[in-house]
Amino acid sequence: VRIALDAMGTDHAPRSEVAGALGALREFGPEVEIILVGDRSVIEREIERHDDVPAGRLRIHHASERVLPGESPAAAVRRKPDSSISVGLRLQQQGDADAFISAGSTGAVMAASLFILRPLPGVDRPTVATFLPTGAQPVLLVDAGTNVDCKPRHLLQFAHLGHIYVQDALGVDRPRVGLLNIGEEPEKGDERAVETFRLLSGDPGLNFVGNVEGRAIVEGVCDVLVADGFVGNVLLKFYESVAQFIVALLQRELTRFDLAMDMTGVLRALDYSEYGGAPLLGVNGVSIICHGGSTPKAIQNAVRVAAQAVQSGMVQDMASELAQTVSRVGGNGA
Amino acid sequence: VRIALDAMGTDHAPRSEVAGALGALREFGPEVEIILVGDRSVIEREIERHDDVPAGRLRIHHASERVLPGESPAAAVRRKPDSSISVGLRLQQQGDADAFISAGSTGAVMAASLFILRPLPGVDRPTVATFLPTGAQPVLLVDAGTNVDCKPRHLLQFAHLGHIYVQDALGVDRPRVGLLNIGEEPEKGDERAVETFRLLSGDPGLNFVGNVEGRAIVEGVCDVLVADGFVGNVLLKFYESVAQFIVALLQRELTRFDLAMDMTGVLRALDYSEYGGAPLLGVNGVSIICHGGSTPKAIQNAVRVAAQAVQSGMVQDMASELAQTVSRVGGNGA
């Protein structure tokens, strides 16, 4: 598996990228190779700081430009054809890499992935999904903020993309798909939810378990949670902050009782960067999006996510499942 | 303050209601009187179990019917004119009570409140708001699940109703109003959010502080958080369950370290039943909605909420603020 890794993406690029890449090369066998994409001299200087570089498995591919924070994604793609993002994606599109990872501007990675890799037939809107930790298996939230104002048919497509991703990434057989809603009955929710329920429940290709309320998410009642990106994003950001808030409250209590406690174990269970980056689902290739603040460990985990997606044949599985869905309910006509 | 309390609402009616009423009468001075509404003989039998009944401040008003769980709210209002809900609300409408409290079917209480008390001029959709605990002052979430498919002008009305409620209930001067969104910039979010931002930011009657992301809620960056009821409901239910989930995780850790700890203090900070029932905002009267599982303490807190609403002149304040808003941006034309 040859992974093109944007070396210019994180807030402390290329430090996290290089350290994460080296960690991944140690973790995986010779089946994984990494191509660092970006300013060759900067990357070389960073690599020199390490003395455990495995020969032949870490390469550099030069890219002369870099997308800066705050740049318009569309403009960045158009005006910087030699950015580390566009160059890395073209490596995959030309068959010189099997996957791409970037912690750069999410908008630019999405725009460039769409432009260079192209959407899969039957996908109107590619989507970024994120795992939410629960008491049981993690739940894949799709969409987690990429697409707002979604139509029911978009949510149906998200369900299929999430279904394949969870199946291939976590090895879950026939993942349970739930629809985020404000009540369990089919007629509950807004107009979009009611119509989406109809589409999901009538789809023989999905293991649809019905509506899932906010309170049931952490109980692990489904493997894939379908939502419009507006609600998904609010939920995701809220989850992160609530976890921190409650742990802080508890620590205050502990101090009162003169107790000290290492909360690391608990926070780890809630740290969704554990799952590495999030793949852009619905494009014709593997494109993994990471946080700008990614640590070396997060980058290393993103490499694992990318390798798994390639080895499981995720993109091919999505293409064939979506082709069947399109033939049943219609799609973007592509 | 004369409060009509539906005695037939909770899952263990009238036990919680009677105990809660007696608790409230002990808490408050002679300025508070409670009228228990429901089956007289059942209520009398329950009162006999107590020996601390203050003379003259607890009365019973008989109602021969009761709305049952699962009944259609509209049908319950139409077919049971002598239900404890309708009778209690009519006491207020006729001037024989100043407020109404019920832990019965939320839908029926809402339908009957609309039918008997009527909406305030300028209000298209009355709304139920709920306080979310934060690290600082609690935040009023409006709407918390009553209205889905809201238009921007409905959200503007919610902002005004929430603004007055927080001002009158918590004594906050010029409460900060935020719009729940997926980014801070005015152009972020779905179509509804963008248009609502425009309405809120252009309203001189509101102290609008801009968009609030999911992660900022627990930081207490606003006093009133405006949201469509779909997102609000998901958020609210998620919050409750996440709090329990994280505390359970922590307790597991504590057990590993052979520590036992009383989590009551922490859970109390997160227990929004502390705030008692939630008022139906936007009707011409005080109607407080409680959970069906309300404990005596929750009922007692609801009495406090009701008394505060009456004493602060909340309904009059809302009427005059909404009249000004209607004259600026239009409303339901009433």
pLDDT in tens, B233-269: 999 989 888 877 777 777 776 666 555 555 555 555 5
What percent of chain A stands above pLDDT 90? 72
Provide, rounded to the nearest whole percent, the portion of chain B with pLDDT above 70. 91
From B221's Cα to the closest Cα of chain A, the distance in A is: 13
Q: Rounded CA gap, A99 and A222, in Å? A: 28
Q: How far is A250 from chain B (nearest CA, A)?
A: 6
Report how far apart, in Å, the C-alpha atoms of B319 and of each of B119, B173, B243, B284, B287 are: 10, 18, 37, 8, 15
Of B228, B230, B241, the CB nearest to A217: B241
Tokens representing A27 are 């973790």
Candidates B180, B236, B250; nearest CB to A214: B236
Which residue among B238, B247, B259 places its CB closest to the CB of A235? B238
pLDDT at B287: 97
| Element housing A48 (H / E) | helix A40-48
Question: How far is A181 from chain B, CA to nearest CA, in Å?
Answer: 7
Decide if B269 and A248 are in contact by the 8 Å CB cutoff: no
Contact across the interface for B239 and A242, Cβ inside 8 Å: yes
* Cβ-based neighbours of B257, under 8 Å, separated by 6 or more: A261
Q: Please, which residues have CB within 8 angstroms of residue B34's CB and are 6 or more apart in sequence?
A: B2, B3, B5, B21, B24, B25, B57, B58, B59, B303
Tokens of A228: 């419009």
The reply to whether residue A242 touches residue B190, judged by beta carbons under 8 angstroms, is no
Element at A46 (helix H, strand E): helix A40-48
pLDDT per residue as tens digits for the range A160-195: 999 999 999 889 999 999 999 999 999 999 999 999
Q: Shortest Cα distance from A78 to chain B (angstroms)?
A: 22
Instruction: Please judge whether B230 and A254 are an interchain contact, meaning their C-beta atoms are less than 8 angstroms apart.
Output: no
> Under a CB-based contact definition with an 8 Å cutoff, are residues B214 and B234 in contact?
no
d(CA B211, CA B188): 9
**Token pair belonging to A243:** 């976890």
- Are A235 and B214 in contact (CB < 8 Å)? yes
A208: helix, strand or coil: strand
Beginning with the edge strand found earlier in the chain, give each strand of the sheet holding B278-281 in spatial order.
B58-62, B33-38, B2-6, B99-102, B287-289, B278-281, B127-128
Report the residue from B239, B250, B266 with minimal CB separation from A266.
B250
Q: Are the C-beta atoms of residues B55 and B25 closer than 8 Å to each other?
A: no
- Among the listed residues B265, B241, B239, the one whose alpha carbon sits nearest the alpha carbon of residue A251: B265
Residue of A nearest to B249 (CA): A266
The pLDDT assigned to A263 comes to 55
Q: How far apart are CA B36 and CA A249, in angstroms?
A: 39
Q: Phi and psi for B210 in degrees, rounded to 5?
A: 100, -170
Do A98 and A5 touch, CB atoms closer than 8 A?
A: no
pLDDT score recorded for residue A260: 56
pLDDT at residue A237 tops 70: yes
- The pLDDT, as a whole number, for residue A264 is 55
Q: What percent of chain A has pLDDT over 70?
A: 91
A contacts of B134 (beta carbons < 8 Å): 245
Q: Which of A216, A228, A266 sits opposite B253 (nearest CB)?
A: A266
Nearest to A179 by CA among A127, A132, A131, A143: A143
A106 in helix, strand or coil? helix
**Residue B59 dihedral angles phi and psi, to the nearest 5°:** -120, 165
CB contact under 8 A, B248 and A135: yes
Nearest chain A CA: its distance from B18 CA (Å): 30
Instruction: Specify which residues A142 forms β-bridges with.
Output: A226
What count of other Cβ atoms lies within 10 Å of the Cβ of residue A23?
17
3-state secondary structure chain B: CEEEEECCCCCCCCHHHHHHHHHHHHHCCCCCEEEEEECHHHHHHHHHCCCCCCCCCEEEEECCECCCCCCCHHHHHHHCCCEHHHHHHHHHHCCCCCEEEECCCHHHHHHHHHHHHCECCCCCCCEECEEECCCCCCEEEECCCCCCCCCHHHHHHHHHHHHHHHHHHHCCCCCEEEEECCCCCCCCCCHHHHHHHHHHHCCCCCEEEEEECHHHHHHCCCCEEECCHHHHHHHHHHHHHHHHHHHHHHHHHHHHCCCCCCCHHHHHHHCHHHHCCEEEECECCCEEECCCCCCHHHHHHHHHHHHHHHHCCHHHHHHHHHHHHHHHHCCCCC
Predicted confidence (pLDDT) at residue A266 exceeds the cutoff of 60: no
Residue A329 has a pLDDT of 63
* Residue A100, φ and ψ in degrees, nearest 5: -135, 140
Chain B contact set for A272 (CB, 8 A): none
Instruction: Give residue B269's pLDDT.
Output: 52
Residue B14 main-chain phi, psi, to 5 deg:
-95, 20
Tell me the shortest Cα–Cα distance from A202 to chain B, in angstroms: 23
* Partner-chain contact A182 B145, CB within 8 Å: yes
A214–B241 CB contact, under 8 Å:
yes
The alpha-carbon gap from A302 to the nearest alpha carbon of chain B, in Å, equals: 23
pLDDT digits (tens, 9 = 90+) for B302-334: 999 999 999 999 999 999 998 887 677 654 443
Of A191, A237, A245, the CB nearest to B214: A237
Residue of A237, A246, A261 with shortest CB distance to B215: A237
Beta strands B139-142 and B224-226: pairing type?
parallel
Q: What is the pLDDT at residue A330?
A: 56
What residues in B contact A148, CB-CB < 8 Å?
A: 182, 189-190, 193
Handedness of CA A41, A45, A47, A52 (dihedral sign): positive
For chain A, helix (H) and strand (E) counts, in that order, are 11, 12
The ipTM of this complex is 0.83
Which of A25-29, A105-109, A273-277, B32-36 has the highest mean predicted lDDT (pLDDT)? B32-36
Q: Which of B216, B229, B266 sits opposite A249 (nearest CB)?
A: B266
**Are residues B230 and A190, on separate chains, in Cβ contact within 8 Å?**
yes
- Please report residues of A whose CB lies closer than 8 A to that of B141: none
What tens-digit pLDDT sequence spans chain B (334 residues)? 999 999 999 999 999 999 999 999 999 989 999 999 999 999 999 999 999 888 889 999 999 999 998 899 999 999 999 999 999 999 999 999 999 999 999 899 999 999 999 999 999 999 998 888 887 788 999 998 889 999 999 999 999 999 999 999 889 999 999 999 999 999 999 999 999 999 999 999 999 999 999 989 988 899 999 999 999 999 998 988 887 777 777 777 666 655 555 555 555 555 555 567 889 999 999 999 998 889 999 999 999 999 999 999 999 999 999 888 767 765 444 3
pLDDT band at A61 (very low <50, low <70, confident <90, very high): very high
- Nearest alpha-carbon partner for A79 in A65, A63, A61: A65
Nearest chain B Cα to A249, which residue?
B266
What's the rounded Cα separation, in Å, for the pair A39 and B271? Answer: 53
Residues in chain B, overall count? 334
A254: closest chain B residue by CA: B261
Residue-averaged pLDDT of chain A? 90
Contact A238 B219 (CB under 8 A): no
Query: Residue A230 and residue B182: Cβ atoms within 8 Å?
Result: yes
pLDDT tens track for A122-146: 999 999 988 888 877 889 999 988 8
